[in-house]
Amino acid sequence: MTDIFILIPGRTSKQGTTLNEGKYTEGYQTEINTLKMNPDDMERLDIAEGEEVRMWNEHGSVVVPCCTGKNELPPGLLFISYGDKSSQLMPGETHGTGMPDSKGLDVQIEKIAT
Amino acid sequence: MSIAEQPTNKTDNPLKIVEDATCTFCGCVCDDINLTVEGNQITKAQNACVLGKAWFFNHHIEERPEALIDGQPATYEQAIDRAAQILLESQYAITYGLSDTTCEAQRVAVAITDWIGGCLDTTTSVCHGPSGMAFQGVGEVTCSLGELKNRADYLIYWGGNPAESHPRHFTKYSLMPKGEFVPNGRKDRTAVLIDVRKTKTAKAVDIHLQLKPRSDFELAWALRALAKGLELDDSVEEKTGIPLAQLKEVMEGMKKAKFGAILFGMGVTMTRGKHLNSEAVLALARDMNKHTRWVAKPMRGHGNVTGADNVVSWSTGYPFGIHLGRGYPRFNPGEFTSSDVLGRGEADAALIVASDPYSNFSQPARDHLKAINTIVLDPKLSETAKIAKVAFTTSTYGINEPGTVYRMDDIPIPLRPAFDSPYRSDYDILKAIENKIRKHQLEAVNAGLKAGEFRIVSGCSSAW
Ligand code: SF4
| B419 close to B383: Cβ distance less than 8 angstroms | no
Query: In this complex, do A102 and B161 lie within 8 Å of one another by their Cβ atoms?
Result: no
- A3-111 folds as Barwin-like endoglucanases (2.40.40)
For residues A95 and B17, what is the distance between their CA atoms, to the nearest angstrom? 50
End-to-end CA distance of chain A: 20
Residue nearest to atom 4 of ligand 1 (CA): B30
- In Å, how far is B269's CA from the nearest CA of chain A? 8
Q: What is the mean pLDDT of chain B?
A: 93
Distance, in Å, from the CA atom of B180 to the CA atom of B257, rounded to the nearest integer, reads 16
| pLDDT at site B453 | 63
| Window from B5-9, B65-69, B146-150, B182-186 with minimum mean pLDDT | B5-9
pLDDT at B456 over 80: no
Q: Pick from A20, A22, A97: which is nearest to B275 by CB? A: A97
Query: What number is the average pLDDT over the span B342-365?
Result: 94
Rounded Cα distance, B142 and B131, in Å: 13
Residues of B in contact with A23 (CB under 8 A): 356, 359, 380-383
Express as a percent the part of chain B with pLDDT over 90.
Answer: 87
ipTM: 0.89
DSSP state of A102: -
Asked if residue A27 lies in contact with residue A18, where contact means CB atoms within 8 angstroms, the answer is yes
Distance between CA atoms of B364 and B34, rounded to whole angstroms? 44
Please give the distance, rounded to the nearest whole angstrom, from the Cα atom of residue B24 to the centre of ligand 1.
7
- Which of B59, B165, B334 lies at the smallest CB-CB distance from A11? B165
Count of A-B CB contacts under 8 Å: 154
Under 8 Å between Cβ of B298 and B227: no
Please tell me the pTM assigned to this model: 0.92
Cβ within 8 Å, pair A101-B130: no
pLDDT value at residue B461: 43
Residue B9's pLDDT is 45
Instruction: Could you please state the CATH topology (level 3) that the domain comprising B129-298 is classified under.
Output: Dimethylsulfoxide Reductase; domain 2 (3.40.228)
Pick from A16, A77, A92: CB nearest B51: A16
Convert the pLDDT of each residue in B269-297 to its tens digit.
Answer: 988 889 999 999 999 999 999 999 999 99
- Tens of pLDDT, residue by residue over B148-179, are 999 999 999 999 999 999 999 999 999 999 99
Which B-chain residues 359-398 have CB contacts (< 8 A) with chain A?
359-366, 380-383
Q: Which of B26, B196, B266 sits opposite A77 (nearest CB)?
A: B196
| Averaged pLDDT for residues B190-197 | 96
In contact, A67 and A34? CB cutoff 8 Å:
yes
Whether A92 sits inside 8 A of B274 (CB atoms) is: no
Q: Which residues contact B398 (CB under 8 A, 6 or more apart)?
A: B21, B22, B23, B24, B303, B405, B415, B416, B417
Positive/negative CA dihedral, B168, B174, B175, B178: positive
Q: Does B171 contact ligand 1 (Cβ within 6 A)?
A: no
A-contacting residues in B 400-439 (Cβ below 8 Å): none
pLDDT of A111 = 87
According to DSSP, residue A3 is labeled P
What pLDDT does residue B460 have? Answer: 45
Distance CA A36, CA A78 (A): 6
Per-residue pLDDT at B462: 42
Q: Where in chain B is the domain with CATH 3.40.50.740?
A: 67-127+303-393+425-450
Residues of chain A with pLDDT under 70: 1, 114
Domain residue ranges in chain A:
3-111
* Helix or strand holding residue A27 (H, E): helix A26-33
pLDDT above 70 for B455: no
If one compares B441 and B457, the residue with the highest pLDDT of the two is B441
Q: Quick: pLDDT tens for B36-90.
A: 999 899 999 999 999 999 999 988 888 899 999 999 999 999 999 999 999 999 9
For A83, the 3-state DSSP assignment is coil
B305-329 core/surface letters (b: 16 or more CB in 10 A; e: else): bbbbbbbbeebbebbbbbbbbeeeb
Closest listed residue to residue B322, CA positions, set B56, B119, B50, B110: B119
Distances (CA, A) of A70 to A14, A51, B168, B193: 15, 16, 24, 18
Nearest alpha carbon to residue B331 among B348, B315, B349, B344: B315
Q: Is B149 left (phi over 0), alpha (psi -120 to 50) or beta?
A: alpha
pLDDT confidence of residue B184: 98
**Percent of the residues in chain B that have a pLDDT greater than 70, as a whole number:** 95
The finding on whether B168 has its CB within 6 A of some atom of ligand 1 is yes
Contact B87, B433 (CB under 8 A): yes
Q: How confident is the model at residue B1 (pLDDT cuts 50, 70, 90)?
A: very low
From chain B, pick out residues whose CB is under 8 angstroms from the CB of A6. 213-214
Looking at residue B454, what is its pLDDT? 52
- 3-state SS, residue A5: strand
Which residue of B51, B264, B338 is the best one to mutate when testing the A interface, meaning the one whose CB has the most A CBs within 10 A?
B51
pLDDT, position B449: 81
The answer, yes or no, to whether any atom of ligand 1 lies below 6 A from the CB of B427, is no
B263 forms bridges with which residues in the sheet? B157, B297
DSSP state, residue A113: P
CB contact under 8 A, A17 and B50: yes
Q: Which of A84, A114, A87, A85 is nearest to A102 (CA)?
A: A87
Q: Which residues of A touch B125 (CB under 8 A)?
A: 98-99
Q: What is the mean pLDDT of residues B222-229?
A: 97
Domain B67-127+303-393+425-450 has CATH 3.40.50.740: yes
Residue B41: HSE in the Cβ half-sphere, 13 Å Cα cutoff: 4
Atom 2 of ligand 1: nearest residue by CA position: B26
Which residues of chain A approach chain B closer than 8 Å at the C-beta? 6, 8, 10-13, 16-24, 59-60, 69, 71-74, 77, 79, 82-84, 86-88, 90-104
Å from CA of B376 to ligand 1 middle: 26
Q: Where in chain B is the domain with CATH 3.40.228.10?
A: 129-298
